[in-house]
Amino acid sequence: MTEIRRLEGHILYDNPKPHVRSRHSYFPGLVKLASGDLLATLMIAEAFESADGTTYLARSGDAGRAWTLQGPLYDKSASAAPASDCMKAAVLTDGSLLAMGYRFARDDPEQSISISETGGILPGDDIVSFSRDEGRTWSVPETIPRNRPELYELSGPPVALRSGDIVAAGALYRMPDGSNPSGQIGVLVRSRDQGRTWDDSTVFFRSAAGNLSPFEPRLCEMQDGRLVALVWAYDQAADRHHANHVTVSHDDGKTWSAPLDTGVMGQASNLVWLDGDRLLTIHAHRGDEIGIFVRVVDFANDEWRVVTECAIYGAGSDSQTKAGQSAAQMFKALRFGQPSLLRLSENEFLAAHWCVEEGQGKIKLHRLSVR
């Protein structure tokens, strides 16, 4: 019998002096380095959408039990234009690191990222940075060119494929005026030269009716070569949340299947290959079941079959989003999200997510056994 057990919990970041200044943390990402250390990326900001939000790094030498805050990924004072950013890292085949994400232009520090008057999002850039010393120093982030006018929501970590290519997936944010000229699709960006140049011609997600945006997409390469994308499916026109959907590629991400409804009413989610045809997935739930849930999924024949599941955080709490909310209202209501999984050993995993507790945005970790 397959079993998921939560072994213990840890804190990656919590404001040490909330009575002195406001410092909240969101959007964690974890990688395991060749040295055995763990490196985390996380956004630290005065508030959820404040203009000072930027990517920080934290390091652990004991498999995630204790963490040292290293500092910002890069020096924002060197940038001519004010911006907030969020990036996540991946370990490449040569042991170097690549961090990818996006930044928003913050010329007006009083303007939120979501523009309530139009339903749009601030303009910005997709960006990439590199490290060759296990994340201790990084290059100044460079802009990734786009062939579409919308900013790509590259909120998940890039994935270094066994083919040597690097890929990342993103939904399309609405333009500042609220328009969406390219439609509600998911775009795969690919580099064949270790991040020096990028191709964004591939669409990995397009619903049959064209009405679903694949927000918070996450990628996983299975041992048999399948590339799987798991998304938060949201109908922007109808303001309706749908169950998480998956799409699958059997040719290194060049072509993709039609979206498959998983039946899991989750928002942000993530996945890793477990063994054989099995995936380990993690979802931030809404609706009747609120919390963060981990599942073992049998994905044989590209079909989603849940083997077992376990709630690891927040079960029974109040719903954080409701039907009919605008993006601005939804951002204000969120209380936890962006869960992810890192494999530590054959049977042990570390789950990470952000949450707001006692008014503080913090990063929590859960050590899991899957057998």
Question: What residue segments make up the domains of the chain, in order of their start?
Answer: 4-370
248 phi-psi bin (left φ>0, alpha ψ -120 to 50, beta other)? beta
Whole-number percent of the chain with pLDDT over 70: 94
Question: pLDDT tens digits, residue range 27-74?
Answer: 999 999 999 999 999 999 999 999 999 999 999 999 999 999 999 999
- The answer to whether the predicted template modeling score (pTM) of the entire model surpasses 0.95 is no
Question: pLDDT tens digits, residue range 158-193?
Answer: 999 999 999 999 999 999 999 999 999 999 999 999
Q: What is the distance between the alpha carbons of residues 273 and 276, in angstroms, rounded to a whole number?
A: 8
Q: Do 270 and 218 touch, CB atoms closer than 8 A? A: yes
Q: How confident is the model at residue 320 (pLDDT cuts 50, 70, 90)?
A: very low
DSSP SS3 for 274? strand
The topology (CATH level 3) of 4-370 is Neuraminidase (2.120.10)
pLDDT mean over 328-342: 72
What residue type is 42 in one-letter code? L
Residue 258: DSSP 8-state: P
On the question of pLDDT at 259 being above 90, the answer is: yes
Q: How confident is the model at residue 329 (pLDDT cuts 50, 70, 90)?
A: very low
Q: Do 345 and 8 touch, CB atoms closer than 8 A? A: no
Task: Determine how many CB atoms are found less than 10 A away from the CB of residue 100.
Answer: 27
Q: How confident is the model at residue 321 (pLDDT cuts 50, 70, 90)?
A: very low
What sign does the dihedral 41-156-216-307 (CA atoms) show? negative
The reported pLDDT for the residue numbered 1 is 85
pLDDT mean over 315-326: 45
